[in-house]
């Protein structure tokens, strides 16, 4: 039976890969990004918005519910990063990171959980990062925004458990996408050396965890964060 997915940040990178992956499995995917859609598929719908725009997020969720009658899975993929020493990080940069990574995820959880609550069923997967447990220098704001996601995941899991909604998070290691293209090679290698498995992450690694979290048999698994690459939270 096909499911209705909402996936944020679907114009490129992992988000686009996730959208195409679940579309190819016969599901309906509703995606969003600040730019126009890069996906053409009869079962795909796209919204141009900023994930921290409350009115736009509410409108997107309402229109999705109206058209498809339900929302089964939320993948909070949209995120931005900035490699800056804390002494050289502008407040504007810090606010932008939290707006996208934390407030955007919060808004989608809040609005979609209202739909899932009435269905008495739903799966939510947020995106954490190994930058948080590794305490990576130069990523203080990014790691802090994702630390907030971890805490949000754990508490939302408790608040929504009574409605048969699970809330979990995947913490990828660096995956070669636009998110890390400007990071110096020596910085990336130093990060990889701190992992138990010393390689870049791949799309298959990420989707493997997501498939596990959203599987119907995973209804007793919530409030969990799985970090990839042998990194301990």
Q: What percent of the chain has pLDDT over 70?
A: 96
Give φ, ψ of 216 to 5 degrees.
-60, -25
Residue 179 has pLDDT above 70, yes or no: no
- Residue 191: predicted pLDDT: 77
H and E: helices and strands count for the chain: 7, 7
Distance separating alpha carbons of residues 32 and 65, to the nearest angstrom: 15
Neighbours of 22 (CB within 10 A): 24
Question: Average pLDDT, stretch 206-223?
Answer: 98
- How large is the average pLDDT for residues 125-144? 92
* 123 touches 174 (CB < 8 A): no
The least confident of 121-125, 133-137, 219-223 is 133-137
Predicted pLDDT of residue 188:
74
- Compute the average pLDDT of residues 178-206: 79
What pLDDT does 194 receive?
84
Band (98; pLDDT cuts 50, 70, 90): very high
CA-to-CA separations, 217 to 1, 113, 143, 233, in angstroms, rounded:
15, 20, 31, 24
The pLDDT of residue 52 is 98
Query: Domains of the chain by range and CATH?
Result: 4-227 (3.40.50.720)
Q: What's the token pair of residue 129?
A: 């990062």
């Amino acid at each position: 039976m096909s499911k209705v997915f909402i996936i944020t940040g679907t114009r490129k990178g992992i988000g686009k890969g996730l959208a195409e992956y679940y579309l190819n499995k016969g599901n309906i995917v509703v995606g969003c990004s600040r730019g126009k859609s890069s996906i053409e598929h009869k079962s795909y719908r796209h919204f141009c918005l900023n994930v921290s725009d409350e009115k736009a997020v509410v409108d997107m969720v309402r229109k999705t519910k109206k058209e498809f009658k339900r929302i089964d899975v939320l993948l909070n993929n949209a995120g931005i990063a900035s490699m800056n020493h804390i002494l050289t990080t502008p407040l504007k940069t810090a606010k932008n990171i939290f707006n996208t990574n934390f407030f955007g995820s919060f808004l989608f959880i809040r609005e979609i959980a209202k739909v899932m609550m009435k269905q008495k069923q739903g799966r939510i997967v947020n995106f954490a990062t190994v930058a948080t447990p590794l305490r990576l220098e130069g990523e203080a704001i990014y790691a802090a925004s994702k630390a907030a996601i971890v805490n949000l995941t754990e508490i939302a899991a408790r608040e929504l458990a009574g409605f048969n909604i699970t809330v979990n998070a995947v913490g990828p290691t660096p995956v070669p996408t636009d998110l890390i293209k400007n990071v110096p090679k020596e910085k990336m290698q130093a990060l990889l050396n701190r992992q138990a498995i010393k390689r870049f992450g791949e799309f298959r690694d990420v989707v493997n965890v997501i498939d596990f979290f959203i599987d119907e048999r995973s209804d007793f698994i919530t409030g969990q964060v799985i970090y990839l690459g042998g990194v301990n939270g």
